[in-house]
Structure 1
Amino acid sequence: MRKLLCLLAVAAVSGCTSGSTQAQATPSAGLACEIPFLATNGSATADYVAVGFLKLPGGTFRTDPNAVSNLPPAGVAATYNGDSGRPWWDAQASRWVPASPSSTSPDGQTYYYMGKGGLHQVTVITGIDGVVFRQPPGVQGGDLLGVQADGVYIVFPAAVKDGTGGILTNPAAQVGVWRYDPGAGTTRRVLSTDNVGDMGGGALWIAGDSLVRVDLVTGKRSDWFSAPGMSTQFLGVDKAGLPLVWTFDNRGRLEIWHLSAPNRADSLYTVEYTGNPPIYGPEAVQGLLIADEHGVWFGANDGLYLYDRTGFHKVSTVAGLPAGPCQ
């Protein structure tokens, strides 16, 4: 049941927010698709036990025998050693890949990772893996932030640990966010800071005590959300590029929010829990939330949830993680 929220605990969020404290029982009318899905054992760590597709409505899961052959070590992408080893469904290539959608090109034909030698590009169909931007001399570390329409974004840190308790400092001229242009084969620095958070919707989002948006063009920072007494984690963005976060405290209260503008937030879901919450968080997801034409998908140890224009719904009781758009 939706109700008006103006809670003192979130007084820093300007304006009242409408939301529901629990998932509604039925999805929006017309939901009929199959979603790529990793069935899990229901644990807090989201260890998956099968890879396949979940049919909605109804929640019938079928395993995909091709999933194993498409993934390392048997598959063509055997050299991949990026940040996500779990399977994701590349809808454009109709293939399972070991790289999240945020690491994949918009056309689905290539994905990227930071590895030995620098930034790697992998062709999905052939598995050809090559370094397209070599690590600058004297630079240690580096992470892939994501792939946007205008290029591939990586970040080099100001310093890294050397493994013995010491610190290795990177050249100041190399620190920050760099954009690689696959069409031109060129790379340039766009931001000189390594405090960047996560990438989504064409921007960077830094979470902690609050949520801050960083413009990729100007570097301008703007405050988007704050919930006093709560910690904030960035979860991803919807199809319009608007962020979703969750807030939590040390007393076992968790709340999921959808932000429509700076300091304008809708509360989608609230739960009081012991141990771990049912909804899988960023550590289990190993990437951003899946957003498609139906809405935004949430995996959980008690089923699958969908947030759409009609609310937050539990659409299946099969525990698991969505791995691509529902088609």
Structure 2
Amino acid sequence: MPRRRAVAAGFDGALWLVGVVDLVVGKGEKVERRYLKDTYRYDSDKGRKRVADLPHPIVAAPSPAPSDASGFYLLGGRIAFTACGVVGMLYAVPLVIFLRDAPKSEERLAAPRISPVGAGSELLTSFSFILLILYFTLPAMAGWVVRDWMPAILQKQFNIGQGKAGVAATLYWQVAAILGVVAGGWLADRWVRTNNRGRIYVSAVGMSLIVVAIFGVGNAGTLAVAIGFLVGLGWGFFDCNNMPILSQIVLPQLRATGYGIMNFFSISVGGLADWGFGVLRGKQVPLNVIFGGFAGLAILSVVLVLLIRLRPELASQEQPR
């Protein structure tokens, strides 16, 4: 019987969706813990046992396994997530073996080597790079909060378990982000053929979608899933153009360092925003006030990206020959 329960739990659709999300964006562990806590109750004789599902609202991802047929042990869940992590690590092996750098041009071979200190100094004294850091960082505050706190928002709005809310919030957002990356990249590739600043404009369009969605999070909770989809779509437009914009303002030998600096600031500030949001919610600050502030920062970031000045010799490489 325990083996049958464990096998049945393995087919729990919501848990597998969380596993896929964990593989794709690395956010599954938090959602997993919430899902296990809310979906399985503890029995001193049998360990964790499945609690009958609540009726599935439209925002929840339904499980293909019947509620009364599945059970769960913590070991099984850990194995599932460990397997996803192992797959992710193994994926790096063929990349290391088969992925090769493009042949360097004579111009790049002749370029002088730059020390880490010199690279950081050159980047941080570039006004356009500072603007790009701010543009990359300010929306991250709202982005991390929406991604990490949307399950709790959905749970409260629809009175569902955190597990279902976590899957709904994460899955739809990520699907929209993938669509946004494809559409935003396609549009930017075509716009830049006629205007060097095409990638900046596409990214600004995506950020404008995020602004609308952030306002919606605080003022239209019943549309939370649609809002999450809109955030993902805008984030895809924004995210897929950050590195190309960096390539238009920074020399090739500085780009990896530059993107690392951008990620450092973005993740650090995003983590602080997550903590700050929790503090504000603990003090009962209304959602519309909190997300109104985030929306204001996103609007500011649109202005900042439009102020970025491209380096003519780098931007001209985007033009068709």
Greater helix percent: which structure?
2
What TM-score results when the alignment is normalised by the length of structure 2? 0.24
Greater strand percent: which structure?
1
What TM-score results when the alignment is normalised by the length of structure 1? 0.24
